[in-house]
Structure 1
Amino acid sequence: MAVDNAPTHQDHARPAVPTLEEVAERAGVSRSTASRAINGGLRVSPEALAAVEAAVAELGYTPNRAARSLVTKRTDSIALVVPEPDERVLSDPFFAGTLSGLSASMADTDIQVVLVITRPGESERTVRYLRNGHVDGAIVVSHHRNDELDRALLDLRVPNVFVGRPLSANESDVQFVDTDNVEGGRLATQHLIDRGCRHIGTIAGPEDMSAGIDRLAGWRNAVLAAGQADDAVAYGDFTIASGATQVRRLLADHPDLDGIFIASDLMAAGALSVLTELGKEVPRDIAVVGYDNLGVAASTSPPLTTVIQPVVAMARAAGARLLDQMDGSPRPSEPLIFAPELVVRESA
């Protein structure tokens, strides 16, 4: 049987991939000089660097990332670490805003963002992943006290920035970006006081997260300063379901409430549905203020008065600080704290 060894049309159509050797030849330099020029330009003259860059552009050469990482000791990737169950990450607009802001901060670089979901009780797996050098740095959001990721990252010396104040390590040891949640909680509650509410309750966030603790402290500061009781407290987990459950409990224990500060818009959305079911008119019977302003607030019934948490800007700033760390820039002496703002809508 005759075998036709002639090249096929498909063989002709597939262009040859340019090699490092071809780049070096085109630039008139050695292979090692071409490699150093492509991988950072160390110990390469300006003339050779320009020649290599021109050859790369002419040939359409793309460096081999695996080989490049051996030279630079960099992976050109960072981790966005989220210590939450999968369903939370996929359903909460907070995480979409975080990813958007972080991606924007990396837009002018070749760095890729890797999403690392750390399910409850699995923080050791995440620490092992970070320790093994898969990424050059990490952004951690939605941190819980028992995760202790801040302590682990300090021990690993992996560049990192937290979005939200971490709880388990000394704040001076950790870089973080946050909003002033104490002031945000006070601002929301003061708005209810100013509109005449005389018994204001709260659905606070988790007791193992700084956002939950701080927003509750802001509510308490405001009601006590106004001479009101601070006994009407329920705790949710920043989900719609917990808002619905906890508002029932709150009203069962305190049926005379005429105002509620709810520590997230998702919880407030769940609470508003229950208030409608119970025949409570918002804001005539009970005024409601939420926290976040991430899109949910404008679509509730009625639209929700809420405190702005600038998640996209916070994540963008965290990404910029991480890039500075990775480049060896001096560390900022203070965390970056955004001031909260109130958006007034029909619910209050």
Structure 2
Amino acid sequence: MSNPTPPAPPRVAIVGAGLGGLLCATVLRRRGIHATVLERDPGPHHRDQGGSLDLHEHTGQAALRTAGLHERFLELSRPEGQEMREYDHTGRLIGHEDGAEGPARPEIDRTDLRNMLLDDLGEENVRFGTAVRDVSLIPQGRARLGLGDGTAEEFDLVIGADGAWSKVRPALSDAAPLYTGNTLVETWCTDVDHQHPVLARMVGHGMMLATDADDPTHLLIAQRNGDASIRVYIGLKCELDWAERAGVDLADTEAVRAHFLTVFAGWHEDLLRVLRENEGPFVNRPVHRLPYPHTWPHTPGATLLGDAAHLMPPAGQGANLALIDGADLAVAIAEAVRDGAGLDAAVHAYEQAMHPRGATAAEESARALEH
């Protein structure tokens, strides 16, 4: 009597080659399941990946352990980057944490972390330059991806790991990102220890925060990265079109600098160095969030992870949640395939754990933004 033919492995698509999508694909691959990863960027180094991240023990680091990459992470990370210095607008140091106490949350540059994941998965396993136009659910619990070139492909499961403006989310939820009333304007200084020694000393090994207790509408943040640069974030409570209202052309670096030197008039000159000595342009980054808790009825054929599922203000949790989402979903899928259980049941179980975790983190991040 012949043995029954084993079922074909599920066809899984991951939309987005960010941290969560790559982690999910890596864990699946290590468990013998190939996922098709689609990324709209034309190549892995097409754009800047952002600043430094602190990875938490029970989320980001746990995910890297699942992927077998925790030791490599420790080699690349910077425990000293947990240092935090707080100044008032007069330049007086009013708070200092060296990071030695409390939970271990070593810093790593987002670019280094993404490169580590991409190297492990293999660039050849990501279809760069592949934009997703839309996702439609089709019978038998499957999904069809409409691609930017006009073609379409069908999968047993489509995972939306494509961030705030996800193309997968509309297949599951009507929710759209909301502007929080806060904007970060980003710039940077390079080779700070040699070219900007005063800034380097004020920031220390980790992050600097400067505020004016009498005016909470703006603040300055500077964070050291592993490449000897400092990322600067100008925090504003403002209208979404603040630059237009102020008559400032965001493409004109000198005009933006002059505007912010007026906004921060009266602040200590050493703090104003982050505005005077920056080498990069000023990049406007409005802060959006999804409604929370953001949930959707379980729907066979598609699910979400990371910012696509629970976009929240930047308060140290977004990347960590994307990583643990990716790990948990991949493990659930792999175990379902191994045990001959249904793929849909695995995704449903993942969502039941992910929804409350994301809702709690989103609420905490919203509270942090208010203060």
Q: TM-score range by the shorter chain?
A: 0.3 to 0.5
| Larger RCO, structure (CA 8 Å, separation 6 or more) | 2
Larger Rg: 1
Higher strand share: 2
TM-score using structure 1 length: 0.33
Higher helix share: 1
